[in-house]
């Protein structure tokens, strides 16, 4: 996902005055759906 955002920035998709927020969750939210795999 970060590589995709960097690519969009390099392509000029965003204006210099645009605010960009990138949230890197690390996929942690998917762990809760599979808790039975850890026991």
Q: Is 23 helix (H, G, I), strand (E, B) or coil?
A: coil
Q: What is the pLDDT of residues 5-33, one digit of tens each?
A: 999 999 999 999 999 999 877 777 777 77
Per-residue HEC secondary structure of 1-39 comes to: CHHHHHHHHHCCCCCCCCCCCCCCCCCHHHHHHHHHHHC
Domain locations along the chain: 2-38
The pLDDT, as a whole number, for residue 26 is: 73
State if pTM tops 0.75: no
pLDDT category at 35 given cuts 50, 70, 90 is confident
- The Cα–Cα gap between 21 and 23 comes to 6
Contact 24, 1 (CB under 8 A): yes
């Amino acid at each position: 996902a970060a590589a995709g955002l960097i690519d969009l920035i390099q392509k000029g998709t965003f204006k210099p005055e645009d605010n960009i927020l990138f949230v890197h969750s690390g996929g942690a939210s998917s762990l809760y759906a599979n808790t039975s795999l850890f026991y």
